[in-house]
Amino acid sequence: MTRILLLFFLFAFISNSVLGQTDCENTLNHATTEFEAGRFYGIPAILKPCIDNGFSNEQKVRAYLLLTQTYLLIDDPISAENSYLQLLEADPEYVANPQRDPIDVYYLSKKFTTVPIFTPSFQGGINTSFVRTIHSLNTSSSLSQLKINNGLKAGFQLGGTVDWNINNRWSIGLGLMYAHKSFKSVQDDFNEGTRREFIEKQDWLDIPLYIKYGVDSGRIRPFVYAGIAANLLLGSKISPEEIDLNSPSSGTQQVSQSPDHIITGSRHFLNRSLVFGGGFKYKVGKNFFTFDLRYMAGLNNLTSNVYDNKLMTGFEYSSDYFRLDNLSFSIGYIKPLYKPRKKKQAGVSLLNKLGLKKK
């Protein structure tokens, strides 16, 4: 019995919604007919019940566009502007087109903007780091018998950015990103018959500041950006491993390992990098998913102390002077904070900033 009642109420709710939409579509058609017949003054009253409660979002756009045209024709510019603002509330990305819309509506639309003042985004993804050696240091007795290779390791990042929108296409962005970065160094000492592998794992707080250019229409919207970043090294540790290729006898291997060793004090805390990136936004409803590829090129030497006593004694480790680059890929989510509003008049705005007012 309970299921039957639930199905009944669900059917009644759906039926009322469909009927309501149909009635409001008839109301909109009626108002359009009145407009075409030149009977303008009754149109606001015809549309009001469905505007207050009944129109779908798409119907609201059509209704407010009709009201905007109506108020322009009966010489009520204030109501026309208010109606157009309501249209932009219903569809912030509506763009008047002179081939589709009346020319007076097109010119009225130029007085307004819906560009968000600020656009926050949240993102996360994966990264890998590249060591760029400035000066190589080692403790091997025979440099010609030592081969050093730097390898890639995977990391991850999570954070967000806020874009301050200058206009539809240009913006200035500021980000805050936690990043776990890792890389390895492999030293083959053919003179001693050993291989040493050092995996360094670091925790960073990256703060990029950049200028961005992006396409402002379409479902897929590419963008590019460039800037600088402050990179704060929160912590660093090394996992050392040594393989003796000839111990205890030729043809056998003995592995020596040690727990992670913290070397944060041997690295500079404050670092800098150049930032280059690009990607695209994918529009879903009023919001976006973002796909972002970013490269950060380190500008300064990361090493503050070459030797660590424990690592030096146990594994003959000495750190090179090096810069660290990072390549990352992130997927994010943007919910634009649309703000339909009337544009400021450039002249009046400048006078106000100078402390002057037009009389």
CATH at residue 35: 1.25.40
Whether residues 63 and 200 share a domain: the answer is no
Distances (CA, A) of 11 to 2, 4, 53, 77, 268: 14, 10, 20, 44, 67
pLDDT value of position 11: 46
- Each residue's pLDDT tens digit, 203-259: 999 999 999 999 988 899 999 999 999 999 999 998 887 776 666 555 555 555 667
Whether residues 148 and 237 share a domain: the answer is yes
Whether residues 90 and 193 share a domain: the answer is no
- Average pLDDT estimate for 266-291: 95
Task: Report yes or no on 299 lying in a domain.
Answer: yes
Whether residues 106 and 124 share a domain: the answer is no
Whether residues 132 and 67 share a domain: the answer is no
CA distance 122 to 208: 14
Task: Report yes or no on 343 lying in a domain.
Answer: no
- Each residue's pLDDT tens digit, 13-41: 443 443 345 789 999 999 999 999 999 99
Whether residues 166 and 57 share a domain: the answer is no
Residue 209 CA from chain centroid, whole number: 13
| Cis amide leading into 248 (omega within 30) | yes
- Each residue's pLDDT tens digit, 297-352: 999 999 988 776 566 555 566 778 899 999 999 999 999 888 899 987 644 444 45
Whether residues 162 and 139 share a domain: the answer is yes
Task: Report yes or no on 358 lying in a domain.
Answer: no
Domain tally, the chain: 2
Whether residues 14 and 91 share a domain: the answer is yes
Distances (CA, A) of 262 to 25, 230, 235, 310: 69, 22, 8, 10
pLDDT value of position 54: 82
Task: Report yes or no on 353 lying in a domain.
Answer: no
Task: Report yes or no on 62 lying in a domain.
Answer: yes
In 10 A of CB 253, how many CB atoms? Answer: 11
Whether residues 248 and 318 share a domain: the answer is yes
Residue 285 has pLDDT above 90, yes or no: no
- Find the range with the poorest average confidence among 143-152, 173-182, 307-316: 307-316
Task: Report yes or no on 155 lying in a domain.
Answer: yes
Task: Report yes or no on 339 lying in a domain.
Answer: no
Task: Give 305 or 3, the one with higher predicted confidence.
Answer: 305
CA distance 222 to 93: 17
Task: Report yes or no on 16 lying in a domain.
Answer: yes
* Average pLDDT of the chain, as a whole number: 84
Domain of residue 132 covers 118-334
Q: Please, which residues bridge with residue 256 across strands?
A: 242
- Average pLDDT estimate for 106-131: 94
